[in-house]
Amino acid sequence: MTATDVSTSSTPAVSERTAAHIEATERYAAHNYHPLPVVLAEGDGAWVVDVDGKRYLDCLAGYSALNFGHSNERLVAVAREQLGRLTLTSRAFFNDKLSGFAEALCRLTGKDMILPMNSGAEAVETAIKVSRKWGYEVKGVPAGQATIITMEGNFHGRTTTIVSFSDDEVATSGYAPFTTGFRGVKYGDIEAVASAIDETTVAVLFEPIQGEGGVVMPPEGFLRDLRALCTERNVLMVADEIQSGLARSGRTFACDHEDVVPDIYIMGKALGGGIYPVSAIAADREVMDVITPGSHGSTFGGNPLAAAIGTEVVAMLEEGTFQARSAEIGAQLEAGFGRLVGKGLSDVRVRGAWAGIDIDPTLMSGRQMSEALMARGILAKDTHGSTVRFAPPLVASDEDVAGLVAAVTEIVAAG
């Protein structure tokens, strides 16, 4: 193979075949991402293969959408069977898969009802709409005055409304004017939340773990205190578990680590098993009943294919094996990366099979770490300068995880 530099002198050399795919993508697709120069073609379990036949350990797992691994046999079998029967009816009609999915997801969350959508951002938008409508119709907030408290450093999606309460300049620059009605407070600061609540507040929207921020966790006890505060002040506690939920953190939901149940769960990513976009919110009837025919909808939300896959995902989670495996991976990651603090890493944060490492910025950037890992057959994603996130599929073996730790150790030692 002939090595070709596809863009700049700092870009790792790639084959002509890889370069051709990258060049065509860059020419015809908008540049809203900055991918590593690898073109993937196949996936199985925790591993993927590029167009040149090189194998990589996938330590991003589609931002936790692939918790159950690539080409999971159970999920692929369900999807194939449903593909040959019925894929879409629209919600103008009932279908024979939605009822089972709704019942299963209610059982998993302990809630009365779900509202199915497609992408995570759609689910967040749905939770915002439900919270506001509940505020007007149930709490009695004056029309047009509902406010929602959000957290600094959040990432909930890319729609105009969602970036309205983001403090990421890259996500917000050039997209104003923004949607009003949001109040940002310091993440994990219960006193700041309490001070921000007034008679117009309908909800507190938060991530139990901030994934985009680099697997950032609030102080111990914050979720319990937030639950008590929301109950006391008659405000909905809305947990965005799109990345942190469905076994990623070592429990079914990240809120489970403090035995807290929010008023609304927001789910996505792994709910579709990495096969199909499936998202949903779950809440009790007194909250969800504000949604009436015509007040919200989605052409694809709750379609038979999505419902069939989502039902199987719930069945897999109810077995508990993925949560247990996530906790095992987390223990291995914490032990391995913990030894590197002060030896190239300035901080390590681990919760289940989810880790964020902060690299000494004088050593290298997160992008440079990601490129060095790619050269060693491991795929990961940087964020915020010198931070790198790891979220391997929960089917990764002990050997796979050991290989990741060894690679990071080698890279920081080399400087």
* CA gap 209, 241 in Å, rounded: 8
Of the residues 97, 111, 133, 269, which is catalytic?
A: 269
Residues 6 or more apart whose CB falls under 8 angstroms from that of 216 comprise 153, 187, 209, 210, 349, 356
Q: Determine which helix (DSSP H) or strand (DSSP E) holds 273, and give its type and residue range.
A: none
String of b and e for 311-337 (b: at least 16 CB within 10 Å)? bbbbebbeeeebbebbbebbebbeebb
* CA gap 14, 28 in Å, rounded: 20
Residues 6 or more apart whose CB falls under 8 angstroms from that of 246 comprise 64, 67, 252, 253, 267, 269, 270, 271, 313, 317
Q: Cα 205 from chain centroid?
A: 15
**Does residue 381 have an active-site annotation?**
no
**Does residue 269 have an active-site annotation?**
yes
Of the residues 68, 155, 165, 337, which is catalytic?
A: 155
Of the candidates 147, 125, 126, the residue with the CA atom closest to the CA atom of residue 136:
147
* CA gap 406, 316 in Å, rounded: 31
Phi-psi region of 250 (alpha: psi -120 to 50; beta: other; left: phi over 0): left
String of b and e for 17-26 (b: at least 16 CB within 10 Å)? bbbebbeeee
Q: Determine which helix (DSSP H) or strand (DSSP E) holds 48, and give its type and residue range.
A: strand 47-50
**Does residue 44 have an active-site annotation?**
no
Of the candidates 110, 380, 106, 123, the residue with the CA atom closest to the CA atom of residue 269:
123
Of the residues 50, 58, 225, 240, which is catalytic?
A: 240
SS (H, E, C) 206-254: ECCCECCCCCECCCCCHHHHHHHHHHHHCCEEEEECCCCCCCCCCCCCH
* CA gap 313, 108 in Å, rounded: 11
Query: How many residues can be counted in the chain?
Result: 415
Catalytic residues: 155, 240, 269
